[in-house]
Structure 1
Amino acid sequence: MRKLYLGYISSFQGLSREVWWLSLITLINRAGTMVIPFLSLYLTQKLHFTLSDVGWIMSSFGLGSVVGSWLGGKFTDKIGYYRVMALSLVLSAFCFIGLQFLQSFWGICFGIFVVMLAADMFRPAVFVALSAYSKPQNKTRSVTLIRLAINLGFSAGPAIGGLIITKLSYNGLFWVDGITCLLAGVLLLNVLNPKKARVLDAAKNDSPESVYSDIPYWVFFVAMVLFGFIFLQYFSTIPIFYKELFRLTESEIGILLGLNGLLIFVFEMPLVKYFEEKFLTPLSSVLIGFLLTIISFMVLNMTSWIGILIIGMALMSFGEMLVFPFSNAFALNRAKRGNQGEYLALYSIAFSVSHIFGHNSGLQLIDALGFEFTWYVMIFLGVLGSLLVVYLRKTITRTVEEKNAIVGQ
């Protein structure tokens, strides 16, 4: 037991002070994002929209995320990650609070678009900050620490959010989201002074390549879109699956979603360290994560036993633990070829594109063909994404071998 404890603690050692501050800021911010996993329920149960309507609203969510990520990358390269993060957090605070006052279909579409535009400018900026503040050998663990903060907040958020809905109303969630974004912005302005920061890896490139001409990175982009497509079902269609087929309450759904964050908090950092020590390439780890996520959907169609929901959530959680940190590490390393903001914006946009099509398609499929058929579609998309990762891994390995052969001559 002591050996396990010491191994867990050692997985956090060697990370810079700035990375820890970024993690705390992210934790405060994400602790309030309890609106997101309940958004589909809020729209169907309180505002009485149809599943088809909710699907189109969630596409606005994804479109705002795409535009926000793109702008965040552009602004990061122009004015720096610090200003972009601060701007994103403060704007998000007021946008979340204002969202609760919108009631019409088009009003909510516009409101969701603006909220996500403001919120997702943060993503490429924080990745560039991580790249600057992390030693090259610590980048995957630095990303993992940020994700740990996200999931620690996200594990508490849905559980608390479910209680707030049960005891009070949905409106309180918007206030909490707004206030926590504002608190995160205030903390950023007070503790992460860019003039005093120790930049450990500036990764400057005097002749940067355009991300748009990097073909292997586009293959990676499509694979991440597909993973995001199936992963996001756990936060839009699957809560409805829990509600309609298994009759779970909002509080029980919140606890089940919170299990995802709890598992990640306990296991992700040691798991990432273990995979790094096995000297697997980032793409090999991503592939394993893909396979675990595919299996998580397979088990949902195997039985009506309620315990399968926990097994499915656990499988998806472990798949997520491998895909996100190692795909992020691949993107950070690849970004050294060009403008970092541009590269990391495209990485963020992959998941934003998933938001545009994933929620909507999942809801439309369920509405037309039911849950079982929808989960089979997700399995197919997961297999397709896995094949792209295999192809990308072989392509990059071949390119590296050819370069080494030229150098050897």
Structure 2
Amino acid sequence: MLRTAFTHYINNFRGFSREIWILTLITFINRAGTMVLPFLSKYLKEDLHFTYNQVGWIMVSFGLGSMLGSWLGGKLSDKIGFYKIMIFSLFTSGVSLFLVQYITTFWALCGAMFVLMTIADMFRPAMFVSLGAYAKPENRTRALTLVRLAVNLGFAAGPALGGLIIMGIGYQGLFWVDGASCIISISIFALLVKEKKKVNHGDKMEISTEIKSVFHDRIFWVFLFVSFITAMIFFQLFTTLPLYHNEKFGLSEFQTGLLMTLNGLLIFALEMPTVGFMERKAFPKIKIIILGSFIMALSFFLLLINVWAGVLVISMICISIGEILTFPFSNAFALSRAPRGQEGRYMALYTMSFSLAHIVSSKVGFEIISRLGYQINWLFMACIGVIATFCCFWIRKALVDEKIN
């Protein structure tokens, strides 16, 4: 029984090209090396002695750079190709990380973080476009899921390793290791993967090829709103929820860490088999996103039950299931929506929606909590999740109308 289940699980990882596995490897190395981010606010406050207000502005510069980088990366991927953008982005951001550690004044750090993230986040839309070139059409959603799995595993390993480096050689060690991981990972990519033009596999796209510009694609803009909302809800997991665990239920950092680990284990165990099953059954992506958005909203309605700590576990399971159903298929929907030659622009706007959500999520969440309390914040997040679900229903109807016309 267990052997059969394990065989089925492993089968979900079969059928990928060599290039996809190399992309997964370099993504894991790069994400595991991204140790500066989890400790950045702590470094700015404790090592450089900035005020909370100054730290906030540096993080805003970080987020704005991420948005600009996402847009530039997508636009330039369409102009000169994803391969060149990926190599430029990771190599240059690696060198930049070596230099940023020597910048210690407020305004200079605001500018440095903005430039660094502009360069670094050019990589993300280019990487998404590369998956469209190197993955077979029938494997595309699973390939996106495989890379997401590498990202999650990298983020799980990175902070722990980062903590050890800080204890051993201080915060400066993070910049050296993070920069080196960027350069090593893209060097592996450049040596082992040859440039390939985006080709038309002849797969059936979910769109009308008459769409000329992303700015005239109404369905995609509504989809971006849905992506922004679901990301905004999900990011509460890393901002307001850990504080709520402690303030309401008295959970320790270790207990909160166990809940986060539960999320990671569920993603690791269930995401690839779920995506593989949905692909084999050819479920429409938007139907899966509808279900995922609703379950994510439900997880915050559950948090309104604030008299029993066990509800935190149930809510975390719901958030994890919502993440499994929403994010891989959102990635795939965005890529499949793009006409030939505009993949970069579409994926740029998609990644920008996550960058914007990262900025807005904590600001809005903490503002609501400070004025009205945790319960109102959970209710607000749940309600916007329901709005996102209804927007998905509109997208589904619009897609049907589009095919008819």
Match of 1:190 in 2: 191
d(CA) in 2 for partners of 1:49 and 1:369?
A: 28
**Higher mean displacement: 336-345 or 161-170:** 161-170
State the Cα deviation string for residues 154-197 of structure 1 (Å, max 9, x = none): 222234345555676554433332221121111111111216x8
Structure 1 residues 35, 230: closer, same or farther in 2, change over 3 A?
farther
Match of 1:385 in 2: 388
Aligned letter for 2:28? L
> Which residue of 1 is the match for residue 226 of structure 2?
223
Q: Report the CA distance between 1:103 and its aligned residue.
A: 4.6
Percent identical residues: 46
Q: CA deviation digits over 1:256-309, x for unaligned, max 9?
A: 544433332221100111223343211111122112222333334423655554
Contact 2:162–2:174 (CA under 8 A) maintained in structure 1: yes
Q: Which amino acid in structure 1 is aligned with residue 225 of structure 2?
A: V
Following superposition of structure 1 onto structure 2, how do residues 191-210 of structure 1 map, counting pairs within 5 Å? 191-194=192-195, 201=201, 209-210=212-213
Is 1:55–1:360's contact at 8 Å kept on the other side of the alignment? no
In 2, Cα distance between equivalents of 1:244 and 1:94 = 41
How far has the Cα of 1:84 moved from its partner? Answer: 0.4
Counting matched residue pairs gives 400
56-65 or 186-195: bigger deviation: 56-65
Residues 210, 338 of structure 1: 8 Å contact kept:
no
Say if 2:90 is the partner of 1:82. Answer: no
The one-letter amino acid of 2:252's match is L
**2:106 is the counterpart of 1:110:** no
What residue number does 1:248 align with? 252
Counterparts of 1:72-151 in structure 2, within 5 Å, are: 72-151=73-152
SS at match of 2:338: helix
TM-score (norm 1): 0.86
Partner deviation per Cα, 1:94-146 (whole Å, 9 max, x = no partner): 33344444555544433332232122101111111111111211111111111
Cα distance change, pair 105–378 in 1 and its aligned pair in 2 (3 A):
farther
1:342-382 deviation line (CA, Å, top 9, x unaligned): 11111112112213322332333344444333222222221
Aligned partner of 2:182 in structure 1 is: 181
Give 1:79 deviation, angstroms. 1.4
SS in 2 for 1:280: coil
Please name the residue that 1:272 is paired with: 275
In the alignment, the residues of structure 1 paired with residue 182 and residue 170 of structure 2 have an alpha-carbon distance, to the nearest angstrom, of 20
Identify the range of structure 1 (31-40 vs 81-90) with the bigger mean alpha-carbon deviation: 31-40
Deviating more after overlay: 100-109 vs 149-158: 100-109
Provide the alpha-carbon RMSD of the alignment.
3.1
| Distance of aligned partners of 1:302 and 1:208 in 2 relative to their CA distance in 1, 3 Å threshold | closer
Alignment partner, residue 334 of structure 1: 337
In the alignment, structure 1 segments of 5+ residues that lack a partner are: 404-409
Distance 1:302 1:7 in 2: 37
Q: Give the alignment of 1:347-386 within 5 angstroms.
A: 347-386=350-389
Q: Which residue of 2 aligns with 1:407?
A: none
1:396 equivalent in structure 2: 399
Looking at structure 2, the residues matched to 35 and 261 of structure 1 have their Cα atoms a distance apart, in angstroms, of: 20
* In 1, Cα distance between equivalents of 2:259 and 2:171: 19
Following TM superposition, by how much is the alpha carbon of 1:70 offset from its aligned partner in structure 2, in angstroms? 0.7
More off after superposition, 267-276 vs 42-51: 42-51
Local SS of the residue matching 2:194:
coil
Distance in 2 (alpha carbons) for counterparts of 1:382 and 1:104 = 40
Greater Cα shift, 367-376 or 221-230:
367-376
The one-letter code sitting in structure 2 at the alignment partner of 1:180 is S
Q: List gaps (5 residues or longer) in structure 2.
A: none
- Residue 231 of structure 1 and its aligned partner are, at CA, apart by 1.6
Moved more, 301-310 or 122-131: 301-310
Q: Cα–Cα, structure 1 residues 323 and 86, in superposed 2: closer, same or farther, change >3 Å?
A: same
Give the C-alpha shift of residue 52 in structure 1: 5.6
2:154 matches 1:153:
yes
Answer yes or no: is the 8 Å Cα contact 2:132–2:198 preserved in 1: no
